Chain A
Amino acid sequence: GAVVSQHPSWVICKSGTSVKIECRSLDFQATTMFWYRQFPKQSLMLMATSNEGSKATYEQGVEKDKFLINHASLTLSTLTVTSAHPEDSSFYICSAPTIPGFKQPQHFGDGTRLSIL
């Protein structure tokens, strides 16, 4: 089945550090990927849509300069949390549909737990 790989699984770092998270589609090409943030015991909140070869689309309230997204190839999207602070600590998950188009299920990466000290 379709697999989405996310790396790293865990990150613990000091406040002010920038952290890069990678999301790869392993056996299919993903022209679109989605980035979510999930706080404990809460639902997934869509942060942005990553589009291969073009700028990401950010949801309302998500700072573009804070969460940099790059989708440089058909199999890789990266999310960089710049100058991370404790309030950025969360579970970040990427997803991608195996076939672009309406009504396609999402396949999720394993997620990255980010802890900012």
Chain B
Amino acid sequence: GQQVMQIPQYQHVQEGEDFTTYCNSSTTLSNIQWYKQRPGGHPVFLIQLVKSGEVKKQKRLTFQFGEAKKNSSLHITATQTTDVGTYFCAVPFSKTSYDKVIFGPGTSLSVIP
């Protein structure tokens, strides 16, 4: 089955520093989704990437899908305390999966004020 890795597992940054998390798949992906889960909360959808080499921006967040569609990254510029949480990538369960996704292990971000 599909396997997805995320690094790093944890990241502690000073407020204002940048942050990047990487997601890697063992197989070529049709799409990849990113979610954020605040401590004690539920995952919230951030974005979906579909095209090879795609780059999308949401304010201070930049999402990238690799050319081979096997990896993706999420970069946050000038982190703020509101960025604290765990960031998960989610990939299709299989090439024929219908809505079903599996979640990466997540990267937990701590921001020191």
Chain A residues within 8 Å of B48, by CB = 103, 105
Contact indicator B98/A101 (Cβ below 8 Å): yes
Give the interface residue-count category, chain B.
20 to 34
The answer to whether A111 and B45 touch (CB under 8 A), given A43-B103, A43-B104, A46-B100, is: no
Please count how many residues in chain A sit with their CB below 8 Å of the partner chain's CB atoms.
23
Which chain A residues in 29-48 approach chain B with CB under 8 Å? 32, 34, 41-44, 46
Smallest Cβ-Cβ distance to B105: which chain A residue: A43
Q: Which of B42, B43, B103: most chain A CB closer than 10 A?
A: B42
Q: A101 to B99: give the CA distance in the assembly, Å.
A: 6
The answer to whether A103 and B103 touch (CB under 8 A), given A43-B88, A44-B88, A93-B43, is: no
Smallest Cβ-Cβ distance to A113: which chain B residue: B40
Q: Which of B30, B35, B103: most chain A CB closer than 10 A?
A: B103
Does A100 make an interface contact (CB < 8 A)?
yes
Q: Which of B42, B99, B100 contacts A93 (CB 8 A)?
A: B42
Contact indicator A44/B100 (Cβ below 8 Å): no
Q: A105 to B108: give the CA distance in the assembly, Å.
A: 21
**A contacts with B: majority SS:** loop
Does A108 make an interface contact (CB < 8 A)?
yes
Does B101 make an interface contact (CB < 8 A)?
yes
Contact indicator A109/B31 (Cβ below 8 Å): no
Smallest Cβ-Cβ distance to B97: which chain A residue: A102
Q: Which of A43, A95, A111: most chain B CB closer than 10 A?
A: A43
Q: A96 to B41: give the CA distance in the assembly, Å.
A: 17
Q: A106 to B50: give the CA distance in the assembly, Å.
A: 16
CB distance from B12 to the nearest CB of A (A): 15
User: What sequence of 0s and 1s flags, for each residue 95-113 of chain B, a beta carbon within 8 Å of any chain A beta carbon?
Assistant: 0011111111110100000
What are 18 A-B contacts with C-beta separation under 8 Å? A34-B99, A41-B108, A42-B105, A43-B103, A43-B104, A43-B106, A44-B43, A44-B88, A46-B93, A49-B100, A102-B30, A102-B99, A103-B48, A103-B92, A105-B48, A106-B90, A108-B44, A111-B42
The 5 A-B residue pairs with the shortest CB-CB distance, nearest first, are A105-B45, A108-B42, A44-B103, A103-B31, A43-B105
